[in-house]
């Protein structure tokens, strides 16, 4: 690379939701911002998690110096264990974010091998040529940062996830003062969250949901069940506070929520009045108007508490007629069907449901257009680079800034994609390289990475099913023992009675009969010829394309 240039290299999170990860390189040093997981919308084949392809970083192995985590959401920290397995780098983040990651690293038995640096807002950490300044950011989670990355050629601001919240429930408002000071000193580039770039106006404060919750608690006579994201700490605090105010105890159900509440309470972030929180056995003894259940599963996840409550599969508790269920969350794209099924199950049980559409029981944690305007006007960057979001959102952020903020032209706002290398000079921003990046998929059962080929194979199996051919050969001779066996699973167009198997058996037997002895003696060649023959036979007989498995055994 040329001297005096900074390279921006996104591995994920650009042109898609989730999997946020970015390399920022100057000279022969590179820092990584975030290592998140993604939730692919097409999730059959035993895969429901993807991570960035960290093999891509292999060529930078000697350059990488640190991983910096902006905040603790899974789409920013969920792939941390996987990147650390490949590259043992020190990790910098807030106490709360680190506590969340520790939980994961323990699962991978890696905690002792990782060097963690706890930082606070306004800290400046020197990492080689980079000076990283941590700016307090407001978001749906707590202890979040925007980063000012000072390099020898200029300062780059990475917003992380943020909204400009003047009245968060926990912690301070977004630190516009520090951002403004850095803006006055000069900012080369702003990497800016685009998730809500299509939404006009300002994103409401976390406080905005309080009136609706107060009304609901005031009007409800039966049991209350509130479901939200287990990481939405401001929301959890509000539910605890309002429950306390209206004389209800709170019973938390769902492992991830219990764990987050424990960490946040330990760190003094969440404040739960003494005696307010009760366990299930105590909760069941209380009158209907004395209890509020706070539960996981707002996205209809089948392993979460709310789904089990709605289907009678939670031990010791189920949703009943007269219960009021508040879904205090947005629908994450891809979860529509699950949520619809969940709501159906709740209605079947006679519950009353309150959703975001009908009452203000949820606000977004991401910057809308009004927030983006404040961000750009305060940091005054030379270039803007939209990040975090589908291409549509990146594009709309560019359009919005061009049309509504200061004097930015087409050339000042750079749209990039995963695998691009964007070279920033003191007065230039050019994509100098475009590489194709594949995702890495994670197996649900083992948490191990699985190859792209395996997923492709599973996809083929799902679409075409499988046909298996077993041929038994006499040892040391080239004679077939008995008939070739043909079995099939999930193949359209055949059933045990329509004669397909018999026809296939005969066709294979005929084919073997006409093969030269030395072609049969070479078992590898024999097996491949059998596969090709069976494939042609299937093409002739069927319209589907099953996966073919051939086996030659010797008896």
Distance CA 150, CA 6 (A): 11
When the beta carbons of 5 and 73 are compared against Zn ion, the nearer one is 73
Distance CA 25, CA 179 (A): 22
The phi-psi region of residue 459 (left if phi > 0; otherwise alpha if psi is between -120 and 50; otherwise beta) is alpha
Please report how close the Cβ of residue 92 comes to Zn ion at its closest, in angstroms. 17
Burial class (CB in 10 A: 0-12, 13-18, 19+), 334: middle
Please report how close the Cβ of residue 464 comes to Zn ion at its closest, in angstroms. 39
Please report how close the Cβ of residue 77 comes to Zn ion at its closest, in angstroms. 10
Please report how close the Cβ of residue 323 comes to Zn ion at its closest, in angstroms. 31
Compute the C-alpha angle 329/335/339, nearest 5°.
65
Please report how close the Cβ of residue 13 comes to Zn ion at its closest, in angstroms. 11
The answer to whether the beta carbons of residues 248 and 216 sit under 8 Å apart is no
Distances (CA, A) of 315 to 278, 281, 305: 16, 11, 10
Residue 159: count of CB within 10 angstroms of its CB: 28
Enumerate the H helices of 405-447 as residue ranges.
none
When the beta carbons of 50 and 159 are compared against Zn ion, the nearer one is 159
Please report how close the Cβ of residue 140 comes to Zn ion at its closest, in angstroms. 6
When the beta carbons of 143 and 161 are compared against Zn ion, the nearer one is 161
**Alpha-carbon dihedral sign for residues 392, 397, 403, 409:** negative
Stretch binding Zn ion (CB under 5 A), from 71-79, 202-210, 350-358, 513-521: 71-79
Total number of residues shown for the chain: 555
| Angle subtended by helix axes 523-541 and 500-513, to nearest 10 | 140
Distance CA 77, CA 74 (A): 5
Please report how close the Cβ of residue 160 comes to Zn ion at its closest, in angstroms. 8
Out of 5, 25, 73, 234, the only residue in the binding site for Zn ion (CB under 5 A) is 73
Which tokens hold the place of 89?
């780098």
Please report how close the Cβ of residue 71 comes to Zn ion at its closest, in angstroms. 6
Total of residues contacting Zn ion (CB under 5 A):
2
Residue 432: count of CB within 10 angstroms of its CB: 12
Please report how close the Cβ of residue 384 comes to Zn ion at its closest, in angstroms. 20
Does 34 engage in binding with Zn ion (CB under 5 A)?
no
Please report how close the Cβ of residue 161 comes to Zn ion at its closest, in angstroms. 3
Stretch binding Zn ion (CB under 5 A), from 72-80, 98-106, 241-249, 344-352: 72-80
Sequence-distant (≥ 6) Cβ neighbours of residue 376 within 8 angstroms: 190, 192, 384, 401, 405, 406, 408
When the beta carbons of 73 and 362 are compared against Zn ion, the nearer one is 73
Strand 466-473 to 187-193 pairing: unpaired
When the beta carbons of 25 and 366 are compared against Zn ion, the nearer one is 366
Q: If we measure between CA atoms, which residue out of 232, 195, 228 comes closest to residue 18? A: 195
Give the contact letters, 152-191, x = binds to Zn ion (CB under 5 A), - = no: ---------x------------------------------
Give the contact letters, 419-438, x = binds to Zn ion (CB under 5 A), - = no: --------------------
Distance CA 495, CA 458 (A): 22
When the beta carbons of 237 and 345 are compared against Zn ion, the nearer one is 237
When the beta carbons of 25 and 73 are compared against Zn ion, the nearer one is 73
When the beta carbons of 144 and 520 are compared against Zn ion, the nearer one is 144
Please report how close the Cβ of residue 229 comes to Zn ion at its closest, in angstroms. 10
When the beta carbons of 161 and 323 are compared against Zn ion, the nearer one is 161
Stretch binding Zn ion (CB under 5 A), from 19-27, 73-81, 458-466, 490-498: 73-81
When the beta carbons of 100 and 384 are compared against Zn ion, the nearer one is 100
Enumerate the H helices of 44-146 as residue ranges.
74-77, 80-86, 95-107
When the beta carbons of 34 and 133 are compared against Zn ion, the nearer one is 34
Distances (CA, A) of 9 to 14, 95, 436: 11, 27, 12
Distance CA 80, CA 196 (A): 25
Residues that bind Zn ion in the complex, under the rule CB under 5 A: 73, 161
């Amino acid at each position: 690379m040329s001297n005096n240039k900074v390279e921006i290299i996104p591995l994920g999170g650009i042109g898609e939701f989730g999997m946020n990860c970015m390399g920022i390189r100057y000279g022969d040093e590179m820092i990584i911002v975030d290592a998140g997981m993604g939730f692919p919308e097409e999730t059959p084949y035993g895969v429901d998690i993807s991570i960035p392809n960290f093999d891509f970083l292999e060529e930078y192995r000697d350059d990488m110096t640190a991983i910096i985590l902006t905040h603790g959401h899974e789409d920013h920290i969920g792939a941390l264990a996987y990147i650390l397995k490949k590259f043992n780098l020190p990790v910098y983040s807030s106490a709360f974010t680190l506590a969340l990651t520790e939980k994961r690293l323990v699962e991978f038995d890696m905690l002792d091998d990782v060097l963690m640096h706890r930082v606070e807002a306004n800290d400046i950490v020197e990492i080689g040529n980079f000076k990283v300044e941590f700016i307090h950011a407001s978001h749906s989670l707590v202890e979040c940062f925007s980063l000012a990355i000072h390099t020898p050629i200029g300062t780059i601001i990475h917003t992380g996830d943020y909204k400009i919240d003047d009245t968060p429930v926990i912690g301070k408002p977004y630190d516009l003062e520090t951002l403004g000071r850095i803006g006055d000193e000069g900012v080369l580039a702003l990497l800016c969250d685009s998730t809500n770039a299509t939404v006009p106006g300002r994103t409401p404060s976390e406080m905005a949901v309080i009136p609706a919750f107060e009304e609901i608690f005031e009007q409800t006579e039966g049991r209350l069940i509130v479901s939200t994201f287990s990481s939405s700490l401001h929301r959890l605090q509000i539910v605890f506070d309002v429950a306390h105010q209206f004389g209800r105890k709170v019973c938390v159900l769902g492992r991830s929520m219990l764990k987050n509440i424990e960490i946040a309470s330990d760190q003094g972030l969440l404040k739960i009045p003494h005696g307010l929180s009760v366990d299930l056995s105590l909760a069941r003894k209380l009158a209907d108007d004395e209890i509020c259940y706070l539960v996981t599963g707002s996205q209809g996840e089948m392993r979460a508490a709310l789904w089990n409550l709605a289907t009678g599969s939670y031990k010791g508790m189920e949703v009943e007629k007269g219960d009021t269920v508040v879904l205090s969350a947005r629908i994450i794209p891809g979860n529509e069907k699950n949520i619809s099924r969940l709501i159906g199950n709740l209605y079947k049980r006679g519950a009353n449901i309150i959703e975001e559409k009908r009452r203000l029981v949820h606000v977004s944690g991401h910057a809308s257009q009004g927030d983006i305007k404040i961000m750009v006007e305060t940091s005054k960057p030379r270039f803007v680079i939209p990040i975090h979001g589908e291409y549509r959102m990146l594009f709309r952020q560019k359009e919005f800034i061009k049309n509504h903020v200061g004097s930015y032209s087409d050339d000042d706002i750079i749209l990039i994609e995963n695998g691009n290398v964007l070279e920033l000079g003191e007065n230039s921003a050019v994509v100098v390289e475009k590489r194709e990046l594949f995702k890495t998929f994670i197996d649900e059962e083992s948490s191990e990475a699985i190859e792209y080929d395996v997923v492709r194979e599973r996809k083929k199996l799902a679409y075409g099913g499988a046909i298996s051919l077993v041929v038994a050969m006499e040892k040391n001779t080239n004679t077939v023992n008995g008939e070739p066996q043909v079995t099939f699973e999930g193949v359209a167009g055949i059933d045990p009675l329509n004669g397909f198997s018999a026809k296939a058996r005969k066709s294979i037997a005929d084919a073997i009969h006409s093969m030269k002895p030395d072609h049969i003696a070479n078992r590898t060649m024999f097996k491949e010829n059998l596969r090709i023959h069976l494939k042609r036979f299937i093409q002739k007989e069927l319209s589907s394309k099953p996966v073919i498995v051939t086996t030659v055994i010797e008896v």
